């Protein structure tokens, strides 16, 4: 083989679709600071979860007698859907996200208590956090050497939480 002829780099093969998604995300967001991405993605995820949580849920008569109406809200459905989707992509990472969502749910409930005691409205706090997270993520993505498509930023905001957990699992040498 001639020295001038170079082998084309072979494309990696992936056993699972999530590995391909993570590989593409690693290529798109390779130079960005993962800690900065983690902060902005967490703010966005928390803000959106809080906003969904605060959508008024209809009172169901049969639940009022059992006090279950306090635990059933749109946030419960949002969490169930997110965990289901993450479970289908990467089961082990979905358990880490379930823990993360549990911590975030606790924080949202604490924000509800603050609001009840005269503090700022939860929806306002969550809206501000969501905007900060989305704008921060977009600005951080603009710093990448290659142009990032809006769809890739959207993927970062939706799949980003488990992508970041995959980095932690890799550091701890835990298979996902």
Q: What is the pLDDT of residues 14-28, one digit of tens each?
A: 788 888 888 888 887
Q: Would you state the pLDDT for residue 3?
A: 53
| Residues contacting 72, CB < 8 A, separation 6+ | 57, 60, 63
Distance CA 160, CA 22 (A): 9
Tokens in use for 37?
Answer: 């991405």
**For 56, phi and psi rounded to 5 degrees?**
-60, 135
Q: Would you state the pLDDT for residue 2?
A: 54
Residue 29 burial (C-beta neighbours within 10 Å; 0-12, 13-18, 19+): buried
Which residues does the chain have with pLDDT short of 70?
Answer: 1-11, 32, 59-71
* Domains of the chain: total: 1
Q: Would you state the pLDDT for residue 44?
A: 94
Dihedral, 99, 101, 102, 108 alpha carbons, nearest 10: 160
Instruction: Give a yes or no: residue 3 inside a domain.
Output: no
Domain that holds residue 92: 33-171
Distance CA 9, CA 105 (A): 45
Dihedral, 56, 61, 65, 68 alpha carbons, nearest 10: -40
Q: Would you state the pLDDT for residue 32?
A: 66
Q: Which residue has the tokens 């977009």?
A: 138
Instruction: Give a yes or no: residue 140 inside a domain.
Output: yes
Instruction: Give a yes or no: residue 23 inside a domain.
Output: no
Instruction: Give a yes or no: residue 38 inside a domain.
Output: yes
Instruction: Give a yes or no: residue 1 inside a domain.
Output: no
Instruction: Give a yes or no: residue 176 inside a domain.
Output: no
């Amino acid at each position: 083989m001639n020295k001038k002829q170079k082998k084309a780099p072979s494309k990696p093969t992936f056993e699972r679709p999530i590995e391909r998604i993570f590989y593409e995300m690693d290529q798109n967001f390779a130079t960005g600071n993962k800690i900065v991405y983690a902060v902005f993605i967490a703010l966005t995820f928390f803000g959106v979860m809080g906003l969904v949580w605060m959508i008024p849920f209809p009172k169901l008569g049969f639940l009022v007698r059992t006090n279950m109406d306090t635990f059933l809200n749109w946030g419960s459905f949002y969490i169930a859907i997110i965990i289901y989707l993450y479970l289908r992509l990467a089961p082990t990472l979905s358990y880490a996200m379930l823990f993360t969502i549990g911590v975030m749910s606790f924080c949202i409930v604490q924000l509800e208590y603050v609001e009840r005691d005269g503090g700022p409205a939860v929806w306002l706090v969550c809206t501000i956090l969501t905007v900060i997270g989305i704008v921060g993520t977009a600005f951080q993505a603009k710093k990448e050497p290659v142009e990032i498509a809006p769809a890739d930023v959207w993927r970062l905001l939706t799949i980003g939480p488990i992508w970041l957990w995959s980095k932690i699992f890799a550091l701890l040498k835990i298979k996902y």
